[in-house]
């Protein structure tokens, strides 16, 4: 089983195009595992014929990013949704600081307008510089790291949501809560 390919297919189904797999996400983003398995089999012909819940559990355990989670007989993507349906998230107090990696080209606009979700439901923030660097390096080799004063922002009414152990989410982060990190 190619678990990287499976992870991408599951992400596509749960984050970006559930209709293509005949899936209907509930308000919290969950779908029945059986429905996902059937959708993957239909969409990818025979590629996932022997796919089971155990394969999904192994896929989640292999990757550090924890993009998916399983509870009983349901599965969902933890973050990264680009679907129109806004998923239910409970706001919680974030760590004092979070980090966001971006490209040099976007930096000036971000410092004017703040961090926006763009084509995703939420802004993605990392718990440490290492994670933010990893994300930014996928986009460009000329990057800027931003420190998000998340506790201050939260105290001023900005909502934060926990994506997983390494990723936090926000609707928008105004520029007054952003600092350039020199690395």
Query: How much is the mean pLDDT over the chain?
Result: 90
Share of the chain above pLDDT 90, in %: 64
The CATH class that applies to domain 98-181 reads alpha beta
pLDDT given for residue 139 in this prediction: 76
Kindly state the average pLDDT of the residues 158-179.
Answer: 94
Between these two residues, 46 and 3, which has the higher pLDDT value? Answer: 3
Does position 94 have pLDDT exceeding 70, yes or no?
Answer: yes
pLDDT given for residue 174 in this prediction: 98
Does position 183 have pLDDT exceeding 70, yes or no?
Answer: no
Interval 63-92: pLDDT, tens: 877 889 999 999 999 877 767 776 778 899
DSSP string, 71-139: ETTEEEESS---SSSPPP-------S-EEEEEEHHHHHHHHHH-EE-TTSSSEEEESSHHHHHHHHHHH
pLDDT given for residue 51 in this prediction: 93
pLDDT given for residue 79 in this prediction: 79
The residues pairing with 77 across neighbouring beta strands, listed in sequence order, are: 68
Kindly state the average pLDDT of the residues 140-155.
Answer: 93
Q: What is the DSSP letter of 174?
A: -
* Domain range 3-77, CATH architecture: Orthogonal Bundle (1.10)
The domain spans of the chain are 3-77, 98-181
Assigned token pair, 107 = 């930096």
Q: pTM above the 0.75 mark?
A: no
Helices 3-11 and 53-62 sit at what angle, rounded to 10 degrees? 100
Model confidence band, residue 45 (pLDDT cutoffs 50, 70, 90): low
Assigned token pair, 154 = 């939260």
């Amino acid at each position: 089983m190619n678990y990287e390919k499976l992870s991408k297919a599951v992400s596509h189904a749960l984050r970006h195009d559930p209709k293509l797999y005949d899936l209907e996400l509930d308000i919290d983003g969950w779908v029945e595992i059986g429905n996902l398995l059937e959708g993957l089999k239909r969409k990818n012909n025979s590629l996932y014929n022997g796919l089971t819940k155990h394969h999904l559990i192994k896929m989640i355990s292999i990757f550090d990013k924890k993009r998916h989670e399983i509870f009983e007989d349901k599965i969902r993507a933890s973050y990264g949704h680009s679907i129109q349906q806004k998923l239910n998230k409970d706001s919680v107090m974030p760590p004092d600081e979070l980090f966001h990696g971006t490209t040099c080209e976007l930096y000036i606009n971000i410092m004017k307008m703040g961090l926006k979700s763009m084509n995703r439901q939420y802004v993605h923030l990392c718990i440490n510089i290492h994670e933010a660097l990893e994300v930014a390096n996928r986009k460009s080799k000329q990057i800027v790291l931003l420190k998000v004063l998340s506790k201050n922002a939260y105290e001023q009414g900005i909502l934060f949501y926990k994506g997983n152990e390494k990723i936090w989410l926000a609707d928008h982060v105004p520029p007054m809560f952003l600092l350039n990190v020199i690395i």
